[in-house]
C-alpha cells in the first residue's frame, strides 16, 4: 500500500513538472485570459487560461504562468465563461427546429419530460443528435412517456391526434399492470418515470391519479433503479406525491406553501433529497399577450417562426390573459396585478425551500405557447432575479444543480478539470445582473464552438 502511494506521488510530481515546462500540450482549444464563473464556489476566477483536448477540460491555470498553444486560440480578455445551461422541463414536437434554438442561447442540456410525439424511436433520434458534439443540438436526458389514466391530463386537456396508448402515453387501468409496465420502460435509457398526478391546468378539470397508483409506480420504479418525476400543480398534488415517495417534482408553479402551517409536509421534504423544477415561465406566458414589448427580443433573434410571434394578436390568448389576471387578483387579494406580484411570493418560497436543502433546477415547460425554446430559460432566470434571488444562486440552478438532478455532475455542470467542455463565453459579467447571460459571444459543446 505504501509503495503504491509512493509511486502515485512520484507520478503526480512528474506530471506537474511536465505541465510546468511543456509549452504545447497538443490541445485542441485554448481560451486565454478569461474570467471563469465558478458555480461550485460562487466566485470568479480571474485571468485564467483554459486548455481543452478531445472535448474535455485538460487544464485551468493563471494566465501567463505558461505560454501554452493549441489548434484554436480564443482571446477571453474581459470576457466571462460560464458552464452550459440546462432547461429541465422541455417538450418538443419538432426537435430539428427547437434544438438549434436551445443551442443559440447556450442551453447545452435539456431534460425532456414526455410529450405527444415521444415514442421510443423519437427519443432515440433526439439522444443521437445530442450525443454528437459537431451537431447544433443540446445533450438530451429524458423520462419515460407519460404515465397517466384514460380521460385524464394531459391527453384530455390538450387533445390532438398524436397521443398513442402504448407508444407516446401509458394509461394505467389498475395497479396490477404497473409492475410489468415499469419493467418494460426500464429497458430504455431513461432517468425515471414521468407520472402525471394533476387534474389539469385549467377548467374543466379532470380527476387526479389515485394515491395507490402513484405509490405503486414509485415502488416498482425503485425496484428497477429508476426515479419518479411527478407532474403536480397545487398543494394537494404535492402532498400526494410526497406521501407516495416521489422525490422529483417537475413544476413549482401552482404550489403555495404556508411555512407556518404546512409543517407536516415540510418536515417530509426537508428529511429527504428532493429535486424540484421551477417553471415560472408558465405564469409569464399567460401574461405575454398583454405585454407586446416582451415579444421584441424574440422577433429580433430571427430564429422563431412568424406563427409563434403572430399568436400575440390572437384574441383567444388575450381572453386567456384576462382570465388569468382576474384569477390572480382574487387569489392574491389585490386590485391590480403585475408580473412581479405573481412571481415574488413564489421565489421567496423557492429560496426558503432551497435553504433547507431542496435542489432547485431551472425549467421552462417549453412546448407551451409564449415559452420560446432557448430564450425563455433566460427569461426564467430573470424572473428569479425579479423575485429577489442572487445571480450566483440562479446560475447554480441552471448548471450544477441541474447536472446533479441528471446524475451527470461528474462530467457536466461546472467548469472543472476533467469535465466536458460545454460552456458559454459572455461579454458581460452575469454575477452583476443575470440578464448578462444573454451577452453570448460563443457557445461551446464538447469543446466545439458554435
Identify whether 133 is part of a domain.
yes
Positions of E strands within 6-138: 27-38, 43-53, 56-62, 70-75, 80-83, 85-90, 107-112
Looking at per-residue pLDDT, the higher value among 18 and 249 belongs to 249
Specify the number of domains making up the chain: 1
Instruction: Judge if the upstream peptide bond of residue 332 is cis by omega within 30 degrees of 0.
Output: no
pTM: predicted TM-score of the whole model, two decimal places? 0.93
Whether 36 maps to a domain, the answer reads no
**Residue 11 CB neighbour total at 10 angstroms:** 10
Express each pLDDT in 384-397 by its tens digit: 999 999 999 999 99
In a domain, 117, yes or no: yes
Which pLDDT belongs to residue 200?
79
CA distances from 207 to 41, 143, 148, 201 (A): 45, 23, 11, 12
pLDDT in tens, 322-338: 999 999 999 999 999 99
Please tell me the distance from the alpha carbon of residue 448 to that of residue 450, in angstroms, as a whole number.
7
Listed in sequence order, the residues at least 6 apart from 405 whose beta carbon sits closer than 8 Å to its beta carbon are: 88, 111, 248, 275, 359, 361
> Mean pLDDT over all residues of the chain?
93
> Does residue 210 register a pLDDT over 90?
yes
- Whether the predicted pLDDT of 42 surpasses 60: yes
In a domain, 69, yes or no: no
Q: What are the residues facing 443 on neighbouring strands?
A: 424
pLDDT exceeds cutoff 70 at 2: no
Q: Is residue 130 part of a domain?
A: yes
Q: What's the distance, Cα to Cα, between the start and end of the chain in Å?
A: 47
For residue 355, what is the domain's CATH number? 3.20.20.140
Nearest one of 203, 282, 209 to 244, comparing CA atoms: 209
**Is the residue at 326 inside a domain?**
yes
Q: For residue 205, give every residue at least 6 positions away whose Cβ sits within 8 Å of its Cβ, in sequence order, or none.
A: 199
CA distances from 28 to 71, 75, 366 (A): 5, 14, 34
Reading the block at residue 364, the C-alpha cell is: 421552462
pLDDT at 282: 97
Residue 138 lies in a domain: yes
Q: What percent of the chain has pLDDT over 70?
A: 94
For CA atoms 363, 399, 385, 376, give the dihedral sign.
negative
The answer to whether residue 270 scores a pLDDT higher than 50 is yes
- Domain with 395 in it: 84-414
* Cis preceding linkage at 204, omega within 30: yes
Give the pLDDT confidence score for residue 25 in this predicted structure. 65
At residue 314 the predicted structure's pLDDT band, cuts being 50, 70 and 90, is: very high
Does the pLDDT at position 88 exceed 80?
A: yes
pLDDT tops 90 at residue 3: no
Please state, for a pLDDT cut of 90, what percent of the chain lies above it.
Answer: 87
Mean pLDDT (whole number) for 14-26: 48
Q: Provide the greatest CA pair distance for the chain.
A: 77
Residue 442 lies in a domain: no
Reply yes or no on whether the pLDDT at 11 is more than 50: no
Q: How confident is the model at residue 156 (pLDDT cuts 50, 70, 90)?
A: confident
Name the more confident of 23 and 109: 109
Higher-pLDDT residue of 378 and 65 is 378
Amino acid at each position: 500500500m505504501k509503495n503504491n502511494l509512493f509511486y502515485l506521488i512520484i507520478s503526480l510530481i512528474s506530471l506537474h513538472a511536465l505541465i510546468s515546462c511543456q509549452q504545447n500540450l497538443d490541445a485542441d482549444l485554448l481560451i486565454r485570459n478569461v474570467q471563469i464563473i465558478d458555480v461550485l464556489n460562487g466566485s470568479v476566477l480571474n485571468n485564467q487560461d483554459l486548455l481543452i483536448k478531445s472535448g474535455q477540460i485538460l487544464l485551468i491555470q493563471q494566465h501567463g504562468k505558461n505560454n501554452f498553444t493549441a489548434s484554436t486560440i480564443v482571446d477571453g480578455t474581459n470576457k466571462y465563461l460560464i458552464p452550459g445551461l440546462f432547461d429541465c422541463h422541455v417538450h418538443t414536437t419538432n426537435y430539428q427546429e427547437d434544438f438549434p434554438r436551445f443551442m443559440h442561447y447556450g442551453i447545452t442540456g435539456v431534460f425532456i419530460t414526455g410529450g405527444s410525439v415521444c415514442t421510443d424511436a423519437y427519443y432515440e433520434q433526439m439522444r443521437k443528435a445530442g450525443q454528437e458534439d459537431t451537431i447544433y443540438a443540446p445533450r438530451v436526458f429524458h423520462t419515460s412517456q407519460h404515465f397517466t389514466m384514460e380521460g385524464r391530463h394531459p391527453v384530455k386537456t390538450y387533445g390532438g391526434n398524436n397521443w398513442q396508448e402504448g407508444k407516446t402515453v401509458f394509461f394505467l387501468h389498475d395497479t396490477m399492470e404497473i409492475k410489468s409496465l415499469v419493467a418494460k420502460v426500464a429497458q430504455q435509457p431513461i432517468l425515471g418515470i414521468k407520472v402525471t398526478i394533476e387534474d389539469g391546468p385549467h377548467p374543466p378539470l379532470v380527476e387526479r391519479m389515485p394515491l395507490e397508483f402513484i405509490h405503486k409506480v414509485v415502488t416498482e420504479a425503485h425496484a428497477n433503479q429508476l426515479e419518479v418525476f411527478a407532474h403536480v400543480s397545487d398543494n394537494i398534488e404535492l402532498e400526494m406525491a410526497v406521501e407516495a415517495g416521489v422525490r422529483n417534482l417537475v413544476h413549482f408553479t401552482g404550489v403555495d406553501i404556508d411555512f407556518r402551517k404546512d409543517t407536516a409536509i415540510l418536515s417530509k421534504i426537508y428529511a429527504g433529497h428532493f429535486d424540484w423544477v421551477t417553471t415560472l415561465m408558465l405564469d409569464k406566458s399567460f401574461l405575454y399577450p398583454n405585454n407586446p414589448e416582451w415579444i421584441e427580443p424574440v422577433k429580433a433573434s430571427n430564429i422563431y417562426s412568424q406563427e409563434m410571434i403572430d399568436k400575440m394578436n390572437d384574441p383567444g390568448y388575450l381572453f386567456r390573459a384576462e382570465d388569468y389576471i382576474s384569477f390572480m387578483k382574487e387569489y392574491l387579494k389585490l386590485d391590480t396585478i403585475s408580473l412581479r406580484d405573481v412571481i415574488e411570493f413564489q421565489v421567496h418560497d423557492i429560496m426558503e425551500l432551497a435553504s433547507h436543502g431542496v435542489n432547485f433546477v431551472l425549467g421552462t415547460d417549453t412546448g407551451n405557447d409564449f415559452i420560446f425554446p432557448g430564450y425563455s430559460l433566460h427569461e426564467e432566470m430573470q424572473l428569479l432575479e425579479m423575485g429577489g434571488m442572487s445571480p450566483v444562486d440562479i446560475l447554480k440552478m441552471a448548471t450544477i444543480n441541474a447536472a446533479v438532478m441528471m446524475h451527470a455532475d461528474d462530467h457536466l455542470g461546472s467548469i472543472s478539470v476533467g469535465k466536458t467542455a460545454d460552456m458559454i463565453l459572455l461579454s458581460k459579467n452575469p454575477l452583476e445582473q443575470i440578464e448578462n447571460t444573454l451577452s453570448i459571444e460563443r457557445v461551446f459543446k464538447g469543446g466545439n464552438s458554435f
